[in-house]
C-alpha cells in the first residue's frame, strides 16, 4: 500500500487546544505506555489530526475507546514522540492493552520532541489492523529494528497504512 505521510505544523491554536485537553485529563493517564509522560505530545497529535480534518473546534471525546468522532467513525489516535522524520518502513504501534478498545480504526501520528511539528502517518481499520499486526512481547528485541520492547504491543509498518487524505473523502468512499 502506498503511503503519503503528511507533515503538519503545531500552530498556536493547535498547541492551545492540546494544552487545554491535557489540563482537563487526570494527571496520571493510565492508558499510556509512558505512564502519562506522553500526555501532552499525545494531545498535540490528537489536535494535529483534528486541525487537518477541519474539526479543531469540536469538543474532545476523551474516552478509553476512541479519541475522535469524524463522519461517523470512532477513531483511536496513537502518537509517538520522535527525534527524526518518520520513514514509511518504520512501524505503527498499538499497545497490548488497547486492542479491546471499541473503535472503528486507528490513526497514527508522530510528533517531534520539541512539539513544533507532527506527521500524520495514515489510518487503518481495526479489523485490517488485527489481520496484519505483528505481536511483540515486553522485554523482547524487535527483530525488524532491534529496539527493546518496553511494553507488549502490536505493530504494522507505516507503509501498510491508508493515506491520511482518504479520510477527507469520507463518506464518499469506503471508510474504515
pLDDT(98) > 90: no
Q: Is residue 3 packed enough to be buried (19+ CB in 10 Å), middle (13-18) or exposed (0-12)? A: middle
Confirm whether 131 is domain-assigned.
Answer: no
Angle at 18 between CA 13 and CA 23, to 5 degrees: 130
Confirm whether 113 is domain-assigned.
Answer: yes
Residues with Cβ within 8 Å of residue 33, at least 6 apart in sequence: 95, 150, 151, 153
Taking a C-beta distance cutoff of 8 angstroms, is the pair 105, 124 a contact? yes
H helix or E strand, kind and range, residue 6: strand 6-9
Over residues 75-84, mean pLDDT:
94
Confirm whether 108 is domain-assigned.
Answer: yes
Confirm whether 137 is domain-assigned.
Answer: no
Confirm whether 92 is domain-assigned.
Answer: no
Query: What value does the mean pLDDT of the chain take?
Result: 87
Q: Give the whole-angstrom CA distance, residue 90 versus residue 95.
A: 16
Q: Is residue 24 packed enough to be buried (19+ CB in 10 Å), middle (13-18) or exposed (0-12)? A: exposed
The CA-atom distances, in angstroms, between 70 and each of 44, 49, 62, 175 are 17, 10, 14, 11
H helix or E strand, kind and range, residue 81: strand 73-82
The pLDDT score that the predictor gives to residue 169 is: 87
Confirm whether 99 is domain-assigned.
Answer: no
Confirm whether 95 is domain-assigned.
Answer: no
Confirm whether 119 is domain-assigned.
Answer: yes
Over residues 15-34, mean pLDDT:
74
The pLDDT tens digits for 100-124 are 889 999 999 999 999 999 999 999 9
For 48, the domain range is 6-87+104-126+158-169
Domain count, the chain: 1
Over residues 154-158, mean pLDDT:
95
Q: What percent of the chain is predicted at pLDDT more than 90?
A: 66
Amino acid at each position: 500500500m502506498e503511503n503519503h505521510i503528511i507533515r503538519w505544523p503545531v500552530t498556536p491554536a493547535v498547541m492551545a487546544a492540546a494544552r487545554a485537553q491535557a489540563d482537563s485529563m487526570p494527571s496520571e493517564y493510565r492508558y499510556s505506555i509512558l505512564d502519562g509522560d506522553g500526555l501532552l505530545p499525545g494531545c498535540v497529535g490528537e489536535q494535529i489530526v483534528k486541525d487537518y480534518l477541519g474539526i479543531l473546534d469540536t469538543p474532545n471525546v476523551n474516552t478509553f475507546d476512541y479519541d475522535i468522532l469524524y463522519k461517523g467513525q470512532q477513531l483511536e489516535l496513537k502518537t509517538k514522540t520522535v527525534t527524526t522524520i518518520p520513514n514509511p518502513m518504520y512501524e505503527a504501534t498499538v499497545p497490548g492493552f488497547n486492542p479491546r478498545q471499541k473503535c472503528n480504526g486507528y490513526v497514527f501520528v508522530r510528533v517531534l520532541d520539541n512539539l513544533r511539528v507532527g506527521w500524520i502517518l495514515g489510518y487503518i481499520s481495526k479489523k485490517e489492523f488485527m489481520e496484519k499486526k505483528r505481536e511483540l512481547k515486553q522485554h523482547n528485541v524487535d527483530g525488524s529494528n532491534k529496539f527493546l520492547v518496553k511494553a507488549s504491543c502490536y505493530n504494522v509498518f507505516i507503509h501498510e497504512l491508508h493515506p491520511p487524505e482518504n479520510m477527507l473523502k469520507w463518506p464518499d468512499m469506503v471508510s474504515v
